[in-house]
Chains A and B, each alone.
Chain A
Amino acid sequence: MKIKTIYLVVLSLAIFALAAMACGSSGGTYKIGLLSPQTGPIAVYAPGFEDAANVAIAELNDNEEGNVFELVVVDSGCDGTQAATAAQTLIDSGVVGIVGAACSGATLGAIAVAAEAGIPMVSYASTSPAVTTASDNGYLFRVVPSDAQQAIALTAVVADGGDTNPAVVYMTNDYGSGLADNFAANWSGDACTTNAYDPTEGSYDASTIAQSVIDAGCDSAVLISYATDGAAIIEALKGQGFSGTIYGADGIADAAFADAFTDAAAVAGVIATKPRPGAESSVQATFNSAYSAAGGDAEGIYTHETYDAVKIIAHAALEGSDDIRDDLASVGSNYDGASGVHTFDSNGDVAGTGYEVCQFDPAFTCTRVWTASGGLASQ
Chain B
Amino acid sequence: MAFLSNNFRKIHIAHSWLILSLFLFIDSYIGLRFGSGLLSWSGILKGDILWILQSLEMMAFGIVIVNKAVKSSTGKFKALALVATPVFLFLLALFTLDTLLKGKEITTIFYYNLSSISLSALYWSAAYMTVAVGLALTYKVQKYGNFAQAEIMLLGSYVALIMMWSDMFFPISDASSDGILNYRLLVASAISAFVICGFVGVIIDKSVYKPLRKRFASAQVLMITSLGVAMVIRAILYMRFSAKTFRFIPDKDWRLLSSNVEVPTQRVDVVVGSRVEEPFINIVSNIGPYGFSYSKIALVVGVLIAISLLMFIMHKTILGKKMRAVSDNPDLASTSGINVENIHSASSFLSAGISGLGGALLAAILPVNPELGLSLLLPAFAVIVLGSITSIPGVILAAFIIGIVRAISEPLLIGAGNALDRPTAGGFAEVMPFIFLIGVLLLMPSGLGNALHKWNVSRFKNLEKQKRKSLFFVTDLFEVFSRFLTIAVNLVVQRLMIIKSHRLFLIYIIQVKSYILELYFEVLNRIGSYLQIVLNMAKWSTPQLLKIDKETNRGSWIFFGVLLFGLILISILLPSVSYYTKVMQIARIVALLGIFSLLSFSLNIHSGFTGMTNFGVIFFAGIGAVLVGILSAPIETNGYGWGTLEATIFAVLLAAIIGWLIAYPTARLRTDYFAIVTISLGEILRISLQAEPLLRAGTVTSAMGISNYELPFKDWWNSGFADSVGSFIGLPGQAPYVLLLATLSISLCFLTWWIISLLLSSPWGRILKSIREDEEVSQHHGHNILSHKAASLALGAAIAALGGALWAWLNTAVWPDFMSPIRSTFLIWAVFIVGGKGNNKGMFIGAFIIVLVEFIFNVLVVSRSSSDLIFHSLTTYIDKIFGWIIYDLGGLIWSERSIIEAFPKGTVILELSYLKLALIGLVIIVALRIAPKGLLPEILFKPKRKGKAGENE
Residues of chain A whose beta carbon lies under 8 Å from any beta carbon of chain B:
2-27, 29, 31, 38-41, 43-44, 46-47, 70-75, 77-82, 84-86, 88-94, 103-106, 108-109, 111-113, 116-117, 128-130, 132-135, 148, 168, 170, 172-174, 177-178, 180-182, 184, 191, 193-198, 200-205, 207-208, 211-212, 214-216, 228, 231-232, 235, 238-241, 260, 262-263, 265-266, 294-295, 297, 299
Min CB–CB distance B131 → chain A (angstroms): 10
Q: Could you write out 13 A-B pairs with CB less than 8 Å apart?
A: A18-B573, A38-B243, A43-B370, A70-B866, A79-B815, A90-B862, A104-B813, A111-B812, A170-B423, A207-B293, A232-B366, A295-B905, A295-B906
A154 to B557, CA, bound (A): 64
Within 8 A of A (CB), among B679-701: 687, 690-691, 698-701
Q: Is B167 an interface residue (CB 8 A)?
A: no
Q: What 1/0 mask marks residues of chain B from 104 to 126 whose CB sits below 8 Å from any chain A CB?
A: 00000101010010001001100
Min CB–CB distance B86 → chain A (angstroms): 20
Contact B418 A116 (CB under 8 A): no
A109 to B904, CA, bound (A): 33
Contact A196 B407 (CB under 8 A): no
Contact A262 B577 (CB under 8 A): no
Contact B811 A201 (CB under 8 A): no
Min CB–CB distance B143 → chain A (angstroms): 25
8 Å CB contact of A232 from B367, B813, B904: B367
Q: Known pairs A181-B703, A194-B418. 19 more at Cβ < 8 A?
A: A4-B545, A6-B931, A14-B569, A17-B856, A18-B530, A39-B243, A43-B243, A112-B811, A128-B699, A128-B703, A172-B690, A194-B414, A201-B366, A201-B369, A203-B430, A207-B116, A208-B407, A211-B290, A239-B257
Residue from B369, B370, B567, B576 whose CB has the most chain A CB atoms within 10 Å: B576
Q: Is B895 an interface residue (CB 8 A)?
A: no
Residues in A with CB closer than 8 Å to B548 are: 3
Contact B930 A46 (CB under 8 A): no
A17 to B871, CA, bound (A): 10
Instruction: Mark the stretch among B58-66, B73-81, B373-381, B749-757 that contacts chain A.
Output: B373-381
Residues in B with CB closer than 8 Å to A177 are: 424, 690, 703-704
Min CB–CB distance A104 → chain B (angstroms): 6
Contact B527 A16 (CB under 8 A): yes
8 Å CB contact of A29 from B109, B376, B418, B866: B866
Residues in B with CB closer than 8 Å to A20 are: 573-575, 859, 870-871
Residues in B with CB closer than 8 Å to A12 are: 534
8 Å CB contact of A4 from B424, B542, B815: B542
8 Å CB contact of B868 from A25, A40, A75, A173: A25
Contact B541 A7 (CB under 8 A): yes
A129 to B704, CA, bound (A): 9
Min CB–CB distance A270 → chain B (angstroms): 14
Residues in B with CB closer than 8 Å to A214 are: 288
Contact A5 B930 (CB under 8 A): yes
Residues in B with CB closer than 8 Å to A44 are: 243-245, 369, 371
Contact A74 B913 (CB under 8 A): yes
Contact A134 B812 (CB under 8 A): yes
Q: What 1/0 mask marks residues of chain B from 297 to 322 whose CB sits below 8 Å from any chain A CB?
A: 00000000000000000000000000
Contact B911 A88 (CB under 8 A): no
Contact B371 A116 (CB under 8 A): no
Residue from B242, B257, B417, B871 whose CB has the most chain A CB atoms within 10 Å: B257
Residue from B113, B701, B818 whose CB has the most chain A CB atoms within 10 Å: B701
Within 8 A of A (CB), among B501-551: 526-527, 530-531, 534, 537-538, 541-542, 545-546, 548
Residues in B with CB closer than 8 Å to A24 are: 575, 577, 868-870
Q: Is B841 an interface residue (CB 8 A)?
A: no
Residues in B with CB closer than 8 Å to A27 are: 868
Q: Is B184 an interface residue (CB 8 A)?
A: no
8 Å CB contact of B858 from A3, A89, A191: A89
A215 to B292, CA, bound (A): 16
A335 to B575, CA, bound (A): 36
Residue from A7, A106, A238 whose CB has the most chain B CB atoms within 10 Å: A7
A203 to B708, CA, bound (A): 30
Residues in B with CB closer than 8 Å to A26 are: 577, 868
Q: Is B823 an interface residue (CB 8 A)?
A: yes
8 Å CB contact of B369 from A43, A81, A128, A239: A43
Q: Is B52 an interface residue (CB 8 A)?
A: no
Min CB–CB distance A171 → chain B (angstroms): 9
Contact B708 A135 (CB under 8 A): yes
Contact B705 A2 (CB under 8 A): no
A203 to B433, CA, bound (A): 12
Contact A77 B812 (CB under 8 A): no
**B853 nearest in chain A by CB position:** A13
Q: Is B677 an interface residue (CB 8 A)?
A: no
8 Å CB contact of A207 from B120, B582, B917: B120
Min CB–CB distance B130 → chain A (angstroms): 10
8 Å CB contact of A79 from B417, B738, B817: B817
Residues in A with CB closer than 8 Å to B575 are: 17, 20-21, 24, 92-93
With A14-B566, A39-B238, A113-B584: A46-B243 Cβ-Cβ less than 8 Å? yes
A180 to B702, CA, bound (A): 12
Min CB–CB distance B253 → chain A (angstroms): 10
Contact B366 A208 (CB under 8 A): no
Min CB–CB distance A314 → chain B (angstroms): 14
**B421 nearest in chain A by CB position:** A184
Min CB–CB distance B927 → chain A (angstroms): 8
Min CB–CB distance B545 → chain A (angstroms): 5
Contact B585 A88 (CB under 8 A): yes
Contact B545 A7 (CB under 8 A): yes
Residues in A with CB closer than 8 Å to B582 are: 92
Residues in B with CB closer than 8 Å to A92 are: 574-577, 581-582, 585, 859
A258 to B401, CA, bound (A): 37
Contact B569 A80 (CB under 8 A): no
**A229 nearest in chain B by CB position:** B367
Residues in A with CB closer than 8 Å to B883 are: none
Q: Is B861 an interface residue (CB 8 A)?
A: yes
Q: What 1/0 mask marks residues of chain B from 738 to 769 whose CB sits below 8 Å from any chain A CB?
A: 10000000000000000000000000000000
Q: Is B810 an interface residue (CB 8 A)?
A: yes
Q: Is B789 an interface residue (CB 8 A)?
A: no
Q: Is B22 an interface residue (CB 8 A)?
A: no
Q: What 1/0 mask marks residues of chain B from 894 to 907 whose CB sits below 8 Å from any chain A CB?
A: 00000000001110
With A14-B573, A72-B862: A108-B423 Cβ-Cβ less than 8 Å? no
A10 to B702, CA, bound (A): 47
With A3-B545, A194-B418, A198-B690: A77-B906 Cβ-Cβ less than 8 Å? no
Residues in B with CB closer than 8 Å to A128 are: 699, 703-705
With A31-B866, A194-B418: A104-B570 Cβ-Cβ less than 8 Å? no
Contact B243 A79 (CB under 8 A): no
Contact B865 A108 (CB under 8 A): no
Contact B417 A194 (CB under 8 A): yes
Residues in B with CB closer than 8 Å to A17 are: 569-570, 573-575, 856
Contact A295 B904 (CB under 8 A): yes
Min CB–CB distance B576 → chain A (angstroms): 4
Q: Is B882 an interface residue (CB 8 A)?
A: no
Contact A43 B371 (CB under 8 A): yes
Contact B367 A240 (CB under 8 A): no
Residues in B with CB closer than 8 Å to A29 are: 866, 868
Residues in B with CB closer than 8 Å to A13 are: 570, 856
Q: What 1/0 mask marks residues of chain B from 351 to 374 whose CB sits below 8 Å from any chain A CB?
A: 000000000001000111111111
**A200 nearest in chain B by CB position:** B375
Contact B426 A197 (CB under 8 A): yes
A44 to B916, CA, bound (A): 18
Min CB–CB distance A184 → chain B (angstroms): 7
Contact A196 B423 (CB under 8 A): yes
A43 to B541, CA, bound (A): 45
Residues in B with CB closer than 8 Å to A170 are: 423
A23 to B526, CA, bound (A): 10
Q: Is B411 an interface residue (CB 8 A)?
A: yes
A181 to B548, CA, bound (A): 63
**A31 nearest in chain B by CB position:** B866
